[in-house]
Amino acid sequence: MCRLYAMHANEPTKIECSLVKAQNALMVQSKEDMQGYANGHGWGVADYADGLPLVEKQVWAAFHGEHFTKTAARVYAKTVVAHVRRATVGGTSLENTHPFDHGRWIFAHNGTIPNFEQVRPLMLEQMDPIHRSEISGTTDSEHLFRYLLSLYLRHPEKGLMTTLRTGLTQVVHWCADVDTDAPVGLNVILTDGDQLVGSRLNRSLFYLLRDRIFDCPICDRPHVHHDPQRSYQAVEIASEPITHGEDWYEVPNDTLFRVAEDYRLDMEPFLHRI
């Protein structure tokens, strides 16, 4: 199942409330999400330090111990990706814990590629040797990440959204070739710190837009040391609404999206049907 969270803003922003303190913070969802499931098979938080990913992971539940709370409290960044895991493909280990990273790239996945053992050889065959050799875990998610990066490495001129559409569509087709009736879960977040793209397919996903400095309804403080010379813009994306009483909107199913220059979500129909 899993639950993911992403924030992308034009100024460094604290995300402690979204991860720990809010009514439905990611830590709350690790203990029990809105469907009644625990997502306690590990957690990870990734942001950027000097342009490169800084990733902290543990294999225990986010709601156990203080490490997740301390990690959330220290993060002050323009781009953040966090994840709490409910294992479906691959055992509980650091290598199988999201988010995954490579170079400037960060990736998280909520969902499952069904019949992965049969789909996996097809993905490996299409990967660049560098990415194939660097796979360290056994999850469908890490393989998907490396497959998408391989496509982008070959044709960066096509852009990230086209790469995402091409890669996810191919995965859906491979899964259908094995079992047409097996549902595919492909909620993903992929970012290099400047660009952020993602998808919703057969898992819940919501977003919240911010276009001004605000006092957080949870801690009653602003989350930004604001530069008065610019207009603050941010978007938060999460498997479930994090806060109560704010305008969280549902991302339609079968959708690809990217964060635009004005920090709104540009959404396109996935149109992956065979």
pLDDT tens profile 17-53: 999 999 999 999 999 888 888 888 999 999 998 899 9
| pLDDT tens across the length of the chain (274 residues) | 799 999 999 999 999 999 999 999 999 999 988 888 888 899 999 999 889 999 999 999 999 878 999 999 999 999 999 999 988 887 889 999 999 999 999 999 999 999 999 999 999 999 999 999 999 999 999 999 999 999 999 999 999 999 999 999 999 999 999 999 999 999 999 999 999 999 999 999 999 999 888 888 889 888 988 667 778 999 999 999 999 999 999 999 999 999 999 999 999 999 755 4
Q: Rounded distance, CA 206 to CA 130, Å?
A: 34
- Residue of 134, 133, 142 lying closest to 90 (CA atoms): 142
Show Cβ contacts of residue 256 under 8 Å, excluding neighbours closer than 6 positions.
161, 164, 165, 168, 197, 198, 199, 267, 268, 269, 270
Q: Rounded distance, CA 103 to CA 118, Å?
A: 29
Q: Rounded distance, CA 70 to CA 105, Å?
A: 24
pLDDT digits (tens, 9 = 90+) for 69-93: 999 999 999 999 999 998 888 788 9
What is the pTM assigned to this prediction? 0.95
Alpha-carbon Rg for the chain in angstroms: 18
Q: Rounded distance, CA 137 to CA 153, Å?
A: 21
pLDDT digits (tens, 9 = 90+) for 131-147: 999 999 999 999 999 99
> CA dihedral defined by 160, 87, 112, 81, rounded to 10 degrees?
-20
Instruction: Tokens for 6, please give them.
Output: 């992403």
